[in-house]
Amino acid sequence: MITAIFDYEFLQNAFASGLIIGLVAPALGLFIVVRRLALIADALSHVALAGIAGSLFLSQNVIALAGLNPLYLGIGSSVAGSLLIDRLRELYKSYEELAIPIIMSGGIALGAIFISLAQGFSTDLVGYLFGSVSAVGREDLYTILAVAVITILFIVLTYKELFSMSFDPEYSRAQGISSRALNIWFMIVTALVVAGSMRIVGILLVSSLMTIPVAAAMQIAKGFRQAMLYAAIFGELSVLGGLVAAFYLNLAPGGTIVVISILILLLVLGGKKLVASRNTARNEEVETGEL
């Protein structure tokens, strides 16, 4: 494997992309989880499916677009979907979650139409659905890198506001923070990360890389920065392990990455329980339950 990575450009692309996504998706995912928007990542990935399928259809039928990288239309439709969700959430203020099924089914519907127009599933499409080790090109890598730079800049520059808005939205508004503009940017960046991640983990599993490492991190982190650090570590471990397993066992990396992230979550839960039961046993001797 170590030598293979020097020999094959496609492996370099896959691992570099994977390591970037393994960092960025859980870091942004922490905000998505604490703001209870996990389903939005799912909806956006399904909108990206429409863009990918549409792009594959176009490149089959329009000669001028034969070489079009589906990632671009995938990103485009995902960003458009994020803006639509934002509009719908404004429109149905008291039923904000209604936007998600509308956009999600809309995405799948368009995807289904384009897939049947393109005469069924191609291997290309399967790669987008479940991720792929071999299909990541240089262009994909650079696009993913650009997405990561935008995301990290966004998080670093608006960290204070994002934290405050996530922890206590009403307080932030009382402080005069314009949550509207920040929300729209947040949705756009989420759409970018969703679309950027799908090359590696696949459309159907993108949201898991944004949520499962975060779920594990939240179990053991005391603070927010710490949670972000743990989430990124778990994300990287999942992606690395998942890509190695996928390469050697010839499996879809989306599957292996997500299974490993779930194993990490289970380990964290089990470890936490073990520590807790030890501590209570010890504390019962020392303290008398005063906090």
Q: How far is the CB of 262 from another protein (least distance, A)?
A: 19
Q: Which of 33, 89, 71 is nearest to 214 (CA)?
A: 33
Question: Of 59-67, 132-140, 168-176, 197-205, which part binds another protein (CB under 8 A)?
Answer: 168-176
Q: CB-wise, 177 or 239, nearer to another protein?
A: 177
Compute the radius of gyration of the chain from its Cα atoms: 20
Q: How far is the CB of 226 from another protein (least distance, A)?
A: 7
Give the single-character DSSP code of 94: G
Does the protein bind another protein through residue 124 (CB under 8 A)?
A: no
Q: CB-wise, 77 or 172, nearer to another protein?
A: 172
Q: CB-wise, 24 or 217, nearer to another protein?
A: 217
d(CA 62, CA 70): 14
Does the protein bind another protein through residue 94 (CB under 8 A)?
A: no
Q: Which of 63, 64, 174, 281 binds another protein (CB under 8 A)?
A: 174
CB 192 within 8 A of CB 152: no
Q: Where are the alpha helices (DSSP H) in the chain?
A: 2-7, 9-34, 38-61, 70-91, 99-117, 123-130, 138-157, 159-167, 169-174, 179-201, 206-220, 224-249, 253-286
Reduced 3-state DSSP string for 99-137? HHHHHHHHHHHHHHHHHHHCCCCCHHHHHHHHCCCCCCC
Q: CB-wise, 156 or 281, nearer to another protein?
A: 156
Does the protein bind another protein through residue 177 (CB under 8 A)?
A: yes
Q: How far is the CB of 174 from another protein (least distance, A)?
A: 5
Does the protein bind another protein through residue 229 (CB under 8 A)?
A: no
Up-side HSE of residue 81: CA atoms within 13 Å toward CB? 33
Does the protein bind another protein through residue 149 (CB under 8 A)?
A: no
Q: Which of 5, 16, 19, 34 binds another protein (CB under 8 A)?
A: 34
Question: Of 9-17, 64-72, 221-229, 280-288, which part binds another protein (CB under 8 A)?
Answer: 221-229
d(CA 43, CA 143): 21
Q: CB-wise, 166 or 208, nearer to another protein?
A: 166
CA dihedral 89, 90, 94, 100 (to 10 degrees): -10
Does the protein bind another protein through residue 88 (CB under 8 A)?
A: no
Q: Which of 3, 64, 120, 170 binds another protein (CB under 8 A)?
A: 170
Question: Of 10-18, 52-60, 157-165, 272-280, which part binds another protein (CB under 8 A)?
Answer: 157-165
CB 1 within 8 A of CB 59: no
Q: Which of 19, 218, 240, 269 binds another protein (CB under 8 A)?
A: 218
Q: Which of 227, 223, 203 is nearest to 213 (CA)?
A: 227
Q: CB-wise, 29 or 111, nearer to another protein?
A: 29
Binding site for another protein (CB under 8 A): 30, 34, 157-158, 160-161, 163-164, 166-168, 170-177, 217-218, 221-227, 291
